[in-house]
Amino acid sequence: METNNTKKYNFFLEGGENAVLLIHGITGTPSEMRYLGKCLNKAGFTVFCNTLPRHCSTLDDLKKVTWQEIEEACIEDFRFIQKGHSRVFVGGLSMGALMSIHLAHKFPDEVAGVIALAPTIFYDGWALQKGKSIMEIVWHVPWIRNMVNIREDWPFGLKDEDLRENIERFYKNARADQFSKKVFLFGSPFFPMANLYQHHLLTKVVKKEIPHVKTPILLIHAREDDMVSPKNSQYIYDFIGSPLKSMVILENSYHMIPIDNDKDRVAEEAVKFMNSV
């Protein structure tokens, strides 16, 4: 569901004949990809990032999104950016990284390369709540997963203390029954179990596809990722069918690597990768 409010946070940056589709994370916002997008555009690439379906909206609406609905929107965005551009790369954060790999599997002759930022196969980060094993049992019960909202908690995916402080002020005071326009900037302060379940379903699909993906891929992950350890990127690196693959480990970030302390390194590695394939 796109509104006039979400439109102004989407971005399309015209550049050269090579283009990049960026996909933000589930419960996130295009704002988390904007710095990277500007860097890629400065390097000569056309860049497009759209708000995922039902995101930057009310919590009740966000809960209704399915991974198939996100897939359909990303395919539409991919077709849009293909027009007038000879090569199109796809990159994403967390769930967006998995969707990027999924698009490479669906369109093997059309996706020029994949930039997978902190791809999330399994949640094993050091900051996760201890109740994760219980969650994986109960999220299969529809009425439970539609009821439970997990409040985002410290460190909010960020090692950058200034940025973390800004987000923390919003997240800690947010209420599930009230919508705030700050969602456009910072993403949802809650992670509904319904969304976690949709992520889980997409993961099951992508894990089966990974060995068949031959598209060049760059994996970038923070060593201290609070949400998903580098084992996630290592899993993809080990099992993906791509003959051209590389992995970069960052030393000064947590999960939100496109906006954290290593954001310039992320952009540099992405540009280097796209210029080399």
* pTM over the 0.95 mark: no
Averaged over 234-253, what is the pLDDT? 98
Confidence of residue 176 (pLDDT cuts 50, 70, 90): low
Residue of 27, 19, 15 lying closest to 184 (CA atoms): 27
Averaged over 11-33, what is the pLDDT? 94
Q: What average pLDDT is seen over the chain?
A: 89
3-state secondary structure of 249: strand
Residue-level pLDDT at 177: 62
- 10 Å CB burial of residue 7 (0-12, 13-18, 19+) is exposed
Neighbours of 124 (CB within 10 A): 15
Residue-level pLDDT at 1: 40
Lowest mean pLDDT, pick from 55-64, 104-113, 184-193: 184-193
Residue type at 162? D
Q: Where are the domains of the chain?
A: 4-276
Residue-level pLDDT at 167: 83
With 70 as the cut, is the pLDDT of residue 277 above it?
yes
User: Which CATH superfamily, name and number, covers 4-276?
Assistant: Alpha/Beta hydrolase fold, catalytic domain (3.40.50.1820)
Residue type at 58? T
DSSP-derived letter for residue 51 is: P
SS3 content of the chain, % helix, strand, coil (to 5): 45, 15, 40
